[in-house]
Structure 1
């Protein structure tokens, strides 16, 4: 996933390629982003940042402060909050770019898009890992969370991070440059200047769809489908409560990311001339990419609220930790107060 679609998404073809004068395939002239739309999108990104950072910090604090041994799913959820938090940290830069253009140089253009792309991959892969773990625990009755399994889950987390950053390397194609010579504003977007633009675009988007959506989605659907079928045959509700948060998290992911991937697939078909279009339709698809991209980025701030309002276990842990923190602060405050009082009395006696 690349945030560059939020503020621009035009054709950038090599100058050496022969132009096709067919009006059905010739690129549409780029138009600058409407200032009002840019300001609204910028405010949405800032709001997303302000919600995602404290929310994910809270979830991470609750999970890491647990006295109980963390299950594999807890470990994956913890790393999921890290991925969402890192993605949210990049949003203020792009919020500024929506209003004033790209101000942070070519290196930051590449690096920030690399961070977003990597954490997009890691987020959905961690969700797939959670679905597999829940399947093993409930369907396979694998209740053994010993030292060996916890070690394996941590090794798997390291592998997911490595895979996510590896798959994100095409983000290095992002450059900061002027859209035209007359413009003073820089933009940060993909620019393929090696080989065929169309081939590179199909390859990078194919990786994004296959490894960042379709394969993890297939794993989740298969694991949760079998798990739900097993739960329907059980009488207890304990396992149902354990699954509720994970199911809601997956559904939220689909609602946030599926529209973006579907729209991008349509955009790819247009760019490769597999479907006929006019400029009006092309610009409508670009606008849809902007809207669905903004919707997708909201996912990083939604997860913490899902845990807080849906997860009964999480709410209990959070309340216990807050009560404990409040008691510690009160005890600390009372000790300081008594110490101050005794010091004052002692001073008065000496004097």
Structure 2
């Protein structure tokens, strides 16, 4: 074979070998790139999971809320509806709007009745997902805050009225004809102020994580502002006013010689005790949760869960005010109690004999003037 023929056979063989070599190198490069690609994104052999945040389990809180809140809210709702409806019926049936306290008591009963009507929605919100829409969600929170603020302000004005009626009896008697008109105007102003202080609930309340709430998270700065203003306006301010007024009233009664003095003092102490027992624990817990929220939330899961337990329990105790107010501010007084018994008799719920049995010996003496309605007797 000539040299030209050998060269002719060698060149195709070399070309075939070169193409095969290039294909093998390309396949190897592709496998290497794929291996590198996956190895770049693979986790290291040892991972420190402590550096990653973990979700705090709320299963125990949910189980507790599923039976505790509906049970207590149902009891509070029923008692609140019954007690406040009786006060309202008694006032309208006997046209009992002759004093400032009568007007404030009527408004207080409407505020507590409004609050009691919102409790079933609160119970439903704590048990399951909120499915009633944003509008009803906003309405529920707004009604709660309006009734809450108005109730606390009315309790303060009742204490102020009792202060002037007893500690400043001469001044109160001089302006007695103007008192009822002033009480109606001030009651309207109280409702307006309560509505203004409830604007954040109207604006910011929404459904978050299938729950009706004005807060987006436990570290929300809005939560700090709302809770801080609630503590200042609806607890600290009424507490200061009631402490000053009832302390002055007790001092005045201690100097009197009225035979009803000791009973009046006991009634005042009962009023103050109910307010402190129902409101102080909840506001202390609310204050501390506000501090924790301002610091960025609780770091310890168990600590956060304990705060939720404490909030739920003390909140239910605080909500008892809507069914206790009729007892300590209305029916503990002789006049309202006798009016209630007469109302029951007129409606056929009580016999004439039973009525006289419960009202005999309880007639007010002539030494007591007509300004006494609920919490104190005039000296």
TM class by shorter-chain length? 0.7 to 0.9
Identify the match of residue 166 of structure 1 among 179, 190, 196: 196
State the secondary structure of the residue aligned to 1:90. Answer: helix
Q: CA deviation at 1:323?
A: 2.4
Offset, 1:216: 1.3
Residue 68 of structure 1 deviates from its aligned partner by 5.5
Q: Pick closer, same or farther for the CA change 1:63–1:239 going to 2, 3 Å.
A: farther
Q: Which residue does the alignment assign to 2:58?
A: 31
User: For residues 325 and 239 of structure 1, do their structure 2 counterparts lie closer, same or farther at Cα, with a shift above 3 Å needed?
Assistant: farther
Q: Could you report, residue by residue, the CA deviation over 1:42-91 in whole angstroms, capped at 9, with x for unpaired residues?
A: 12111211111121000111123335552101111111111000000011
Aligned to 2:348, what secondary structure does the other structure show?
Answer: helix
Find the counterpart in structure 2 of residue 315 from structure 1. Answer: 337
- Deviations 1:229-268 (CA, angstroms, capped at 9, x unpaired): 1111111034665665555334212211111110011111
User: Does 1:191 find its partner at 2:215?
Assistant: yes
Cα distance between partner residues in 1 of 2:200 and 2:289: 18
Q: Structure 2: how far apart are the matches of 1:30 and 1:107?
A: 30
Against the structure 1 CA distance between its residues 287 and 65, is the aligned structure 2 distance closer, same or farther, given a 3 Å change threshold? same
Q: Is the 8 A contact 2:74 2:119 kept in 1?
A: yes
State the match for 1:89 in structure 2.
Answer: 117
Residue 299 of structure 1, aligned match among 321, 343, 354: 321
Is the CA contact 1:139–1:230 (under 8 Å) kept in the aligned structure 2? yes
Measured on the aligned residues, the alpha-carbon RMSD in Å equals 2.9
1:56 paired with 2:84, answer yes
Which residue of the partner structure matches residue 266 of structure 1? 288
Q: Cα distance, 1:310 vs. partner?
A: 2.9
CA distance in 1, matches of 2:307, 2:118: 25
Does the alignment pair 1:152 with 2:179? no
Structure ranking higher on relative contact order (CA contacts 8 Å, 6+ apart): 1
Are the structure 2 counterparts of residues 222 and 328 from structure 1 closer, same or farther at C-alpha, using a change threshold of 3 Å? closer
> Is the Cα–Cα contact under 8 Å of residues 63 and 78 in structure 1 kept in the other structure?
yes
What secondary structure does 1:34 align onto? helix
Aligned length: 297
**CA distances 1:17-61 after superposition (whole Å, capped 9, x unpaired):** xxxxxx9xx896352443354123112111211111121000111
Q: Which runs of 5+ in 1 are unaligned?
A: 1-22, 179-185, 331-351
TM normalised by structure 1 equals 0.76
Bigger mean CA deviation after superposition, 114-123 or 93-102:
93-102
Q: Structure 1 232/155 Cα, relative in aligned 2: closer, same or farther at 3 Å? A: same
Flag the 1:218–1:192 CA change in 2: closer, same or farther, 3 A. same
Distance 2:326 2:189 in 1: 24
- CA deviation vs aligned residue, 1:254-305 (integer Å, no higher than 9, x gap): 2111111100111112122299862211211111011111111121112223
CA pair 154-239 structure 1, distance change in 2 beyond 3 A: farther
Deviation at 1:189, TM superposition (A): 1.5
- Conservation of the 8 A alpha-carbon contact between 2:57 and 2:301: no
1:176–1:233 CA distance, 2 compared to 1 (3 A): same
Distance of 2:330 and 2:54 partners within structure 1: 47
* Structure 1 equivalent of residue 146 of structure 2: 118
Residues in 1 aligned to 2:65 and 2:251: alpha-carbon distance in whole angstroms: 45
Q: Residue 307 of structure 1 contacts residue 314 of structure 1 at CA under 8 Å; is this kept in 2?
A: no
How many Å apart are 1:200 and its aligned residue? 2.3
Q: Which runs of 5+ in 2 are unaligned?
A: 1-49, 353-379
The secondary structure found in structure 2 opposite 1:143 is helix
Does residue 140 of structure 1 match 2:140?
no
Going from structure 1 to structure 2, the CA distance change for 1:189 and 1:62 (only over 3 Å counts) comes to same
User: Given that residues 113 and 171 in structure 1 are in contact (C-alpha distance below 8 angstroms), is that contact kept between their aligned partners in structure 2?
Assistant: yes
State the match for 2:237 in structure 1: 215
User: Are the counterparts in 2 of residues 52 and 85 from structure 1 also a CA contact under 8 Å?
Assistant: yes
